[in-house]
Structure 1
Amino acid sequence: MPFQAPLMLFGAAAVTVPLALHFFYRARYKPLPWGPMKLLREAVEQTSRRLKFQERLLLLLRCLALILLALALARPALDSVSGAASDGPVDAVLMFDTSYSMAARDGEKTRLERAKDAAVAVLDALPDQSSVQIYACADRAQALGPVSRYNRDQAKQLVRSIEVTSLSTDVLPGLTDALAAAETGTAPAKEIYVFSDLQKSGFERQQPGLRAKCEEAREKKAGLVFVRCGNPGRKIPNVSVVDVKLLAAIPHTRTRVPFVVTVKNTGPEPVRGIKVSLELDGKAVERDATQIDQIDPGATAEVTLTGGLEESGPRLLAVYADGDGLDGDNVLYKIVGVRDKVNALLVAHPFAGLPATDAGDWFVRKALVPFDTERERDKIEKYFIATESVQPAEVGPDKLAGKDIVYLLNAPVRTDDPFVGMPPAFVSQLAEFVKGGGGLVFGAGPLVNPGDYNRVLGRAGAGLLPVPLGPDLPAATAEAPFRPAVESIDDRDDVFGKVKPYADWIDRATFTRMLHLDDTGPDAAGGRVRVRTTDNRPLVASRVVGDGEVLFFAAPLDESWGSRLMADGQFAVPLTTYIVSHLTGRKVPGGARTAGDTLTWAPPVAASGYELIKPRPRTGKGDDGRNRLRVKLGEAKAGAGARPVVSTADSLVAGEYAIVPAGGAQADGATFAVNPDLRETDNLEPVSDSELEKMLGYRPTIIQAGAGTETAIRERRTHGEWTEWVLLALLLLLMGEATWAWFCGRAW
């Protein structure tokens, strides 16, 4: 048992006083013989034995009273508490849950506001010379200060400045850092306060590790106090924005496109009157919000909003839902690459003297620009996709300027004949084009030589082939041709999963010859087979190269080898549209992320330094990022790829972020849409006291935030002492001693 004032135990030496009075001041007498006394000897001896017993018991009670008084002054405490005296210094660590469920409102205040009030009460209740350290934690811990751990005014200012993040709850990281911080103090007593709404999911995420950490805190005599900052009986009505889709494969300017917004009720009760609105770069795309009458618990609802796309470039699409009890997941951001024009380069032989449909690029051109060349020239000129065709031997690096996607259609690479095949300079520049975010599509044909392709375009060459080309495959017959296997297509595929509903047309896409895509060797690493034939041969393979991507069709995209892949416009047009949408979408730097994710950008051109542009407020308009908060990131560092990368994990709040060269505009870098971590609102149920006891293996101290927080803290700190019980025992002992002394006719 520890003592708060162990020196006071020396006061127990006062027990020698009654002993001295008893033994050294006993009545002294000289025996004198007296005849009558002999008659009374037996009676006197019997009475003397009774008096001695009374005196010794009285002596024992008085000695015990002095010992209890010394013990009370020494202030014994319980082992299970931090061991802090009510007025002794404490090393306190305050840990705040900053997940966005703390923004839920209980009455007139949010849970975080209640946590701040409770924390100030804790600071006021700390004894003099106590130290304070403050941490914020959602699913990661962050030390906040103060600069001087003994300055309580700084700590109070810091507490008032804490804000919620867009992260989900996980108690373990914060508790781990809080315990380590408490051990750096010099006071004998350690106390850790966790201010949270005690959301059950935050304790369940790493429950075994959390239980072990709480046991460690108990072993180290660190007092752990959970301050419940929400009303556990209140059910929060909540709706999350879970998805937004553009019903336009390739967003481009001067169009109005529909946006389908999906919202979900993650709360325990129906929610009524939810208003859904949509903004593009801070500007509303529709005048009025659309209202959803009711969403039942666990159900989803879809709302369609339409808006015009006026400006090209990466645009921030933001969807808002208003009308529930928690704002943290009422927004979803998405980066939309809006284009004024999509420029495609088609490299193919013209096949002079043959019908137009025999030209190597005819089917692809018609799928890209589905208009009649002779009768609809005005539509072709205004269309958002523009094509340029060139022969392989005549293509040069300059043809890639301003292009978004390149098709190599039965295009040979140059060998010894300078008049046949693509020149090396073009191939070299094509590799840089793809690495910079461009899209590349290969179409097979009789002019594609597997050996030349592997040597020039394979891993040892330009590195553009998804997988190596193997030996020629035996030709099929017209009666039993090769066919794509619809069942081999992944439903989640961004390209082929979207054309999977066209199963009847896919079944008619036959061909009698195809190249062998060897996906089994070591050089196929990183490649992905996206479509196979009915006899399980790879038909379409892809690979990400730098910031771009390559698709390789083992069958021709013209009519050579009896190919009918692109012969049916009802299949060829959507297939080509989804290919262009997917490949050109990679050219938009950045993309969608979840709060807390690392944002990474590989700059195409090196700069002396980089900055992170933080999110603008919801009311902000479409600025270029110059008026928003900027954080210096330093220089780019070597990454896994060939180019250096810039990265940061400072993405704790949902919104629009950008990594740019120092002093540059947002358009000069990569834009990221950071969304809330929806795991936070999957389950908003708080953990009960009994459930928490079961999870941690013991019953921790749990205090309800409110007007009595400071009193509860003081009572908890003094409740660990046995002083009041010792004093009560002393009082009872003194009462017993007085009663016995009166009975014996004795006094001090």
Structure 2
Amino acid sequence: MGFLSPWLLLGGLAVSVPLVLHFFYRARYRKLPWAAMTFLKQSIEQTSRRLRFQEFVLLLLRCAALLLLALALARPTFSGATAGGRGESVDAIFIFDTSYSMTARDGEKTRLERAKDAAATILDNLPGNSTIQIIGCADRAVELGPQSPRNLDQARQIVANLEPTALATDLLPGLTEAYAGLDRGAGTNKEVYVFTDMHKLGWDRQSAAIRGKCEELKQRATLLLVRCGNPERPIRNVGITSITYPNDIPHTGTRMPCAVLLRNTGKESVRNVTVALEVDGKQQEKESETVPEIAPGQAFPVNLTAKLDAAGPRVLTATVTGDDLPGDNRLDRIVSVRETVRVVIVDGRPDFRDPKESAGHYVRNAILPVKSSDVDNYFIRVEAVPADEAGPALLGNCDVCFLLDVPASNADRPGIPGLSREFVDRLSEFVKSGGGLIIGSGENIVPARYNQILGSGGVNLLPFDLEGVSLTTPEKPFKIAPETTDVPSYLERFQQEPFRTVTADADLSKVLNVKPAATGRVLMRLADQKPFLCSRTVGDGEVIFIAGSMDDKWGNWPSKTGSFLSFIDMTLTHFSSKAARGANVTAGDPIVWTPLDATKNFDLMRPDGKRVKLGKASGVPPVVTASDTPLAGVYRILADNQDVKAAPQFCVSPNLSETDDLTDLTNSEVEQILGFKPVFLEAGTPEGIATERAKREWTVWVLLALFALALGESVWAWFCGKAW
């Protein structure tokens, strides 16, 4: 128990007055002999015990009355020394749960709207000279103001303008910030209010740390949990978990089929939800479909198409309506749309008389799966040249380059032309600037020369340096092991059927050995664990090295169309989508972008139109990093004086872990986590919030007890003074 005016307890010393009067006051008299008194002495002795008892009780009642009066003036409270009462100034801290579960509508208002109303009521009932600090909290804490803690009008404006984020719930950052905020208040009467829907995720993620922090808060302040949800009404929720499209290169002039995956994360079926898909916000071209019903826990794909009429990064936007929680009802994705994809094949073993014998035959056919009459109209343009015709200009308009069984130089294989020094230097620049390079093995490759020119001794493009060639017999061929595919990677589907079986069925007679190091990454291995597919990121580009040949000289893998053709398709799609890589992130994750001109200053434009200064690029290579991504939607990074429409776009999606489990904890479950019982309030019951502080003060009850005691003392005094 604490006291708001503890110094008034000194009034309890007044209890000494009746004690002094009772024990030390003596009437002054003279002894006079009187014969009649002898006869009264016996009567007085008979009643003296009763009189002493009555006077002692009367003394106790009067002393207790004085003590209760002093106690009432000291204004006792039940929550400790920091608990406030009516009329006493308060250092209040508001923690608002701004995760997107607070956007749920489980009644006439959303949970966040109820939190705002509850906070406004508390602000209106704060005593004079009180202070306020407001903290927004999802999986991170943000101090929102006001600038002056005594400016309650500004605090009301901050509360009214609160907006939800696309982040998941975690109360620990907010509680930690609130504990630090206690030191910023000058008074001893402190209150911490947490406005939340009691979402289970927010308490479970770091339950032990939350318990410890609440224990610390309890020692210095009154902790009040304001429930903003309606536990009697479950949330109906259907969220968009992904937008997928075929493993092809999106290109102009088509309607690309897309699958919008919906998932019911609530406990009730949701009926008549409408799903729509549009490109770059073009409402007139969007497609939509209504789903009659989605059962609890069910994932439901909706097939729609997106019209691609312009090349470049395009924004696919899927929306769904018809549930109670809008926070996960929109998903944006950047898709890199190409008008044409230009591929150069440098063939180290060309055969103009019989093209089927050339090193690039299988690759070219895999890239161009159309009739020869349609090749000129196909969006992928392929140019195949022998090594001696591969000049630097060849890479000028190129997106992807294949080196197939090509000697690293003219000196590698007598009589067989190799790469020129000028081409190698240009190839290095091509990859670093974002190009894709695929290197296929073969008899013309001399490992030592490749290491010297293309590897660690030269332009350093190889994922790993090469060693010798491994041979085997037809009876015991090398086998590709698709189950070893690295995850995550663009080839991870090779672990699944039908890719897995058809790939494992291929036989290889020779492979090039590599020396694995930290410079590269093994994407897939052989059954004996030798690296087969390797990759390395170089600048903004990437190099893929195949330890086997990409023709039928070293095995029959190229003839396994289900595997080889899929590998070519996935690789081209992977390289062509590089503009979208890093452009799709989850709320709260940083956006990292490499600008062409690192000398400029940059700003981040958020989906709500606010601009955040980022400064210049930094690091090696110079990158711009934007960490302020709490909202879902489309962000842009703008250079000085840059047109908004020309700025690169980035799509931020909601943190879907927020709706994996929509359970709200009961008060008893929260108590079990905390290990003590905080003060629970219900948003939407202003009379409860307005009187909570008065309930914590015992003054009224002490005064009532004083009144009852005074009444009892009067009755007892009358009884004692009555003649019997």
TM-score of the alignment, normalized to the shorter chain, above 0.5: yes
- 1:243-273: CA deviations, max 9, x gaps? 2211251110111221111111111011111
Secondary structure of the equivalent of 1:484? strand
Once the 2 structures are TM-superposed, how far is the Cα of residue 668 of structure 1 from its aligned partner?
A: 5.3
The yes-or-no answer on 1:424 pairing with 2:417 is: no
Identify the residue that residue 636 of structure 1 maps to in structure 2.
617
Q: Does 1:497 align with 2:473?
A: no
What one-letter code is carried by the residue in structure 2 that aligns with 1:234?
R
Match of 1:531 among 505, 511, 524: 524
1:42–1:237 CA distance, 2 compared to 1 (3 A) = same
Letter in 1 for 2:582: G
Written as runs of structure 1 = structure 2, the 5 A alignment for 1:279-428 is 279-284=278-283, 288-349=287-348, 351=350, 354-371=353-370, 373=372, 376=373, 379-414=374-409, 420-428=417-425
Q: CA deviation at 1:31?
A: 1.6
Q: CA deviation at 1:714?
A: 4.4
Contact 1:484 1:507 in 2 (8 A): yes
Asked if 1:681 is matched to 2:659, the reply is yes
Q: 3-state SS of the aligned residue for 2:548?
A: coil
Q: Secondary structure at the residue paired with 1:470?
A: strand
Matched, 1:738 2:714: yes
8 Å CA contact 1:194–1:226 kept in 2: the answer is: yes
Deviates more, 1:144-153 or 1:419-428: 419-428
Contact 2:119 2:159 in 1 (8 A): yes
What secondary structure is seen at the aligned counterpart in 2 of 1:454? helix
- Per-residue CA shift, 1:201-233, capped at 9, x if unaligned? 21111111111111111222x111011111111
Percent identity of paired positions between Structure 1 and Structure 2 = 44
Is contact 1:592–1:674 with CA below 8 Å preserved after alignment? Answer: yes
Partner of 1:727: 703
**1:101 has 2:101 as partner:** yes
Deviation (angstroms), 1:169? 0.8
Q: Alpha-carbon deviation of 1:240?
A: 1.1
- Please name the residue that 1:619 is paired with: none
Alignment check: 8 A CA contact 1:603 1:669 kept: no
SS in 1 for 2:430: helix
Q: 1:557 offset after TM fit, Å?
A: 1.4
- 1:716 aligns with 692
CA spacing shift, 1:21–1:316, aligned 2, 3 Å: same
Going from structure 1 to structure 2, the CA distance change for 1:391 and 1:233 (only over 3 Å counts) comes to same
The change in CA–CA distance for 1:342 and 1:34 in structure 2 (over 3 A counts) is same
1:600 aligns with 2:595: no
How far apart, CA to CA, are the structure 2 residues paired with 1:455 and 1:345? 24
Secondary structure of 1:59 counterpart: helix
Q: Which residue does 1:624 correspond to in 2?
A: none
* 1:25–1:445 Cα change, 3 Å: closer
Would you say 1:452 and 2:449 are equivalent positions? Answer: yes
Is 506-515 or 63-72 further displaced after alignment? Answer: 506-515
- CA distance in 1 between counterparts of 2:634 and 2:510 reads 49
1:98-129 per-residue CA deviation (whole Å, 9 max, x = no partner) reads: 11111111322111111111001111111111
Name which of 520, 526, 540 aligns with 2:533. 540
1:444-523 matched pairs, under 5 angstroms: 444-473=441-470, 475-489=471-485, 493-495=489-491, 497=493, 501-502=498-499, 505-506=502-503, 509-519=506-516
SS in 1 for 2:77: coil
Change (3 A) 1:20 1:503: closer
Give the match for residue 128 of structure 1: 128
Query: Letter of the aligned partner of 2:448 in structure 1?
Result: G
Aligned-partner Cα distance in 2 for 1:76–1:505: 80
RMSD (Å) for aligned C-alpha atoms: 2.6
Aligned in 2, Cα 1:312/1:205: closer, same or farther, shift over 3 Å? same
The equivalent of 1:34 in structure 2 is 34
Superposed CA offset, 1:369-396 (max 9, x none)? 23455xx1xx222111112233334433
SS of equivalent to 2:127: coil
TM-score (norm 1): 0.91
Shift of 1:727: 2.3
Q: Which amino acid in structure 2 is aligned with residue 631 of structure 1?
A: V
Shift of the alpha carbon at 1:597? Answer: 0.7
Which residue is 1:266 aligned to? 265
Distance in 2 separating the partners of 1:352 and 1:158? 75
**Matching residue of 2:240:** 241
Distance 1:745 1:510 in 2: 119
Q: Distance in 1 between matches of 2:654 and 2:53?
A: 81
Tell me if structure 2 keeps the 8 A contact 1:81–1:720: no
Of stretches 56-65 and 606-615 in structure 1, the one that deviates more from structure 2 is 56-65
Worse overlay, 14-23 or 379-388: 14-23
Deviation at 1:584, TM superposition (A): 1.9
Aligned equivalents of 2:194, 2:128: Cα separation in 1: 21
For residues 429 and 450 of structure 1, what CA distance do their matches in structure 2 show? 21
Q: Work out the CA distance in 1 between the residues paired with 2:53 and 2:291.
A: 90
Q: Name the counterpart of 2:556.
A: 564
Residue 625 of structure 1 is matched in structure 2 by none
Paired AA for residue 255 in structure 1:
T
For residue 575 of structure 1, the aligned residue among 567, 590, 600 is 567
Amino acid at match of 1:442: I
Distance change (3 Å), C-alpha of 1:598 and 1:26: same
Aligned AA (2:677): R
Q: Which residue of structure 1 aligns with residue 548 of structure 2?
A: 555
Partner amino acid, structure 2, of 1:29:
Y
Matches of 1:291 and 1:18 in 2, distance apart?
85
* Cα distance change on mapping 1:570 and 1:56 into 2, 3 Å: closer
In the TM superposition, what whole-angstrom CA distance separates every residue of 1:512-568 from its partner, at most 9, and x where no partner exists?
Answer: 22211233xxxx21533233334433221122223322211111113434x433245
Partners of 2:113 and 2:587 in 1: CA distance:
22
Q: In 2, Cα distance between the equivalents of 1:385 and 1:280?
A: 23
Q: Do 1:286 and 1:305's aligned partners in 2 also have CA atoms closer than 8 Å?
A: no
Letter in 2 for 1:476: T
What residue is the counterpart of 1:612 in the other structure?
A: 604
Preserved contact between residue 438 and residue 587 of structure 1 (Cα < 8 Å): no
Distance 2:22 2:235 in 1: 74
Q: 1 CA distance for matches of 2:500 and 2:188? A: 74
Moved more, 206-215 or 281-290: 281-290
Q: What's the secondary structure of 1:380's corresponding residue?
A: helix
Asked if structure 1 preserves the Cα contact closer than 8 Å seen for 2:211 and 2:673, the reply is yes
682, 686, 703: which is aligned to 1:704? 682
**Contact preservation (8 Å) 2:140, 2:170:** yes
| One-letter amino acid matched to 2:409 | R
3-state DSSP of counterpart to 1:605 = coil
Cα deviation code 1:676-727 (max 9, x no counterpart): 1111111112110111111110111111111x33x32343323333323332
Contact conserved, 1:80 with 1:218, CA < 8 A, in 2? no
* Paired position in structure 2 for 1:62: 62
1:237 and 1:326 in contact (8 A); partners too: yes
- Say if 1:285 and 1:336 are closer, same or farther in 2 by CA, change over 3 A: farther
- Code of the aligned partner of 2:589: D
**Any gaps of 5 or more consecutive residues in structure 2?**
none
1:463/1:668 Cα in 2 relative to 1: closer, same or farther (>3 Å)? farther
2:93–2:192: 8 Å Cα contact kept in structure 1? yes
Change (3 A) 1:80 1:496: closer
* Aligned amino acid, residue 604 of structure 1: L
Identify the range of structure 1 (505-514 vs 394-403) with the bigger mean alpha-carbon deviation.
Answer: 505-514
AA at the equivalent of 1:366? N
